[in-house]
C-alpha cells in the first residue's frame, strides 16, 4: 500500500517521536502529522508537528482537513509524575480518547486506528494464569484507577469499531518498556541505588525492548488487524534474578513498609510508582504473544532477559542522594 497519511498523538514521548522518525524512512508513507503539546524528542524532517491538546475539540476540525487514513493513539498516560495528578491522567486518557474518536467520526478518510494500550488491563494477581491471552481481559475486576481508565478506553474503541465497520481498530496491549534510552517506571525502579522489594515475593516479570515497542507499532500501522494484540518480549524473568543480573542491592520490606518507602520516594521526587506498578512488583504478569507473531506478523528481536541485559550494560544507577540516605536509615 502506498501514499499512507498518518497522524500520531503523544508525539512528544519517546515512542511517539521514534515512531514518526521510523515512518519517515518508509516509502509507503506519504505524510505524517505529529500531535502533542510537547515538542518531539527527535529531529523530524518530513513530519508536520501540530501543537494541540487531544482533550480540546481542535482535532475534530483538523482531521477532515489533513485527510489522514491512519490514526495512531499514543497518548495514554501510564505513570504519575510531579505534574500529573490522577485526575489529570484520567482526563487525558478518557476525555482525550473521546475527543479523538469524535474527530475520527468526522473524518471519512480514516480507515485504521492503532492504539498503544496497556497490558495493565489484565491487572497483577496472585492466582493469575502464567500468560494472559487477549480474551482474558475481564478475568479479574479492575483494582486500580488506571485499570478502570484502560478498560473504559477499550470499551470506547470497541463501541466505535462496531458502529464503523469500515475502520480497523487495533488495540495493542503493551507490557512495560525497557531499554537504554526510554524512561519508564521499571527503568526508574532499576536505577535506584538500593532497590526495595516486597518481602516474601519473587514475581515473574515480562517487558518489551524499546526498539521492539516502536517496531511493533510500525507493523500495526502497515498491516492493521482488528481487535486486541499483546505486545511483549518472549519469556519472563524473576525479580530476584533480574536484580542479581543488574548487581543491585535490595531492601526487602513487608508490604506496609514497602508502601511507606514508595510514598516517601514520591514525596522526595526521587521516583513515583503507581498502584499498578506496585502490584506488578508483588504479583508479576505474563502475556501470550501468539497473535503478535502470527496475525500482526511481528516477532520481537529481544527476549525479556536480553532486554534486561542490554539495560544493565548501557545504564548506570542513580547516585545515592542525601535524601535517599535519610529514607534508607529511617526504614532500616
Residue 130 lies in a domain: yes
Residue 74 lies in a domain: yes
Whole-prediction pTM: 0.93
Structural domain total, the chain:
1
The answer to whether residue 260 sits within a structural domain is no
Which letter, b or e, does each residue of 181-217 get, where b requires 16 or more Cβ atoms within 10 Å of its Cβ?
ebebbbbbbbbbeebbbbeebebbbbbbbbbbbbbbb
* Mean pLDDT computed over 262-271: 92
Q: 201 in a domain, yes or no?
A: no
CATH classification at residue 293: 3.40.50.720
Residue 224 falls within a domain, yes or no? yes
Report how far residue 135's alpha carbon sits from residue 119's, in angstroms, rounded to the nearest whole number.
12
Is 277 domain-assigned? no
Q: Domain range holding 103?
A: 4-177+207-232+288-301
In a domain, 264, yes or no: no
Q: What is the pLDDT of residue 329?
A: 53
pLDDT, position 321: 46
Q: Would 65 be classed as within a structural domain?
A: yes
Q: What are phi and psi of 312, to 5 degrees?
A: -65, -35
The per-residue pLDDT for range 68-83, each reduced to its tens digit, is: 999 999 999 887 666 7
Amino acid at each position: 500500500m502506498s501514499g499512507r497519511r498518518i497522524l500520531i498523538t503523544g508525539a512528544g514521548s519517546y515512542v511517539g517521536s521514534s515512531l514518526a522518525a521510523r515512518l519517515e524512512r518508509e516509502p509507503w508513507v506519504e505524510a505524517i502529522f505529529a500531535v502533542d503539546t510537547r515538542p518531539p524528542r527527535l529531529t523530524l524532517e518530513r513530519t508536520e508537528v501540530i501543537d494541540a491538546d487531544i482533550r480540546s475539540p481542535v482535532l475534530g476540525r483538523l482531521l477532515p482537513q489533513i485527510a489522514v487514513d491512519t490514526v495512531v493513539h499514543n497518548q495514554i498516560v501510564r505513570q504519575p509524575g510531579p505534574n500529573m495528578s490522577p485526575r489529570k491522567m484520567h482526563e487525558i486518557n478518557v476525555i482525550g480518547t473521546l475527543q479523538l474518536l469524535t474527530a475520527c467520526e468526522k473524518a471519512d478518510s480514516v480507515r485504521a486506528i492503532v492504539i498503544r494500550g496497556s497490558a495493565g488491563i489484565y491487572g497483577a494477581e496472585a492466582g493469575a494464569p502464567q500468560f494472559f491471552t487477549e480474551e482474558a481481559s475481564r478475568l479479574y475486576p479492575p483494582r486500580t484507577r488506571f485499570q478502570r481508565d484502560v478498560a473504559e478506553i477499550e470499551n470506547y474503541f470497541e463501541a466505535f469499531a462496531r458502529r464503523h465497520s469500515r475502520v480497523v481498530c487495533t488495540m495493542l496491549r503493551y507490557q512495560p518498556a525497557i531499554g537504554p534510552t526510554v524512561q519508564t517506571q521499571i527503568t526508574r525502579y532499576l536505577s535506584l541505588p538500593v532497590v526495595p522489594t516486597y518481602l516474601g515475593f519473587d514475581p515473574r516479570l515480562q517487558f518489551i525492548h524499546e526498539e521492539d515497542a516502536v517496531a511493533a507499532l510500525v507493523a500495526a500501522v502497515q498491516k492493521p488487524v482488528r481487535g486486541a494484540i499483546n505486545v511483549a518480549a518472549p519469556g519472563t524473568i524473576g525479580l530476584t534474578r533480574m536484580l542479581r543480573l543488574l548487581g543491585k542491592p535490595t531492601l526487602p520490606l513487608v508490604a506496609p513498609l514497602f508502601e511507606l518507602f514508595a510514598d516517601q520516594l514520591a514525596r522526595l521526587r526521587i521516583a513515583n510508582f503507581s498502584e499498578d506498578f506496585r502490584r506488578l512488583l508483588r504479583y508479576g504478569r505474563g502475556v501470550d504473544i501468539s497473535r503478535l507473531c502470527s496475525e500482526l506478523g511481528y516477532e520481537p528481536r529481544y527476549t525479556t532477559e536480553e532486554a534486561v541485559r542490554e539495560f544493565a550494560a548501557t545504564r548506570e544507577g542513580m547516585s545515592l542522594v542525601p535524601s535517599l540516605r535519610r529514607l534508607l536509615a529511617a526504614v532500616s
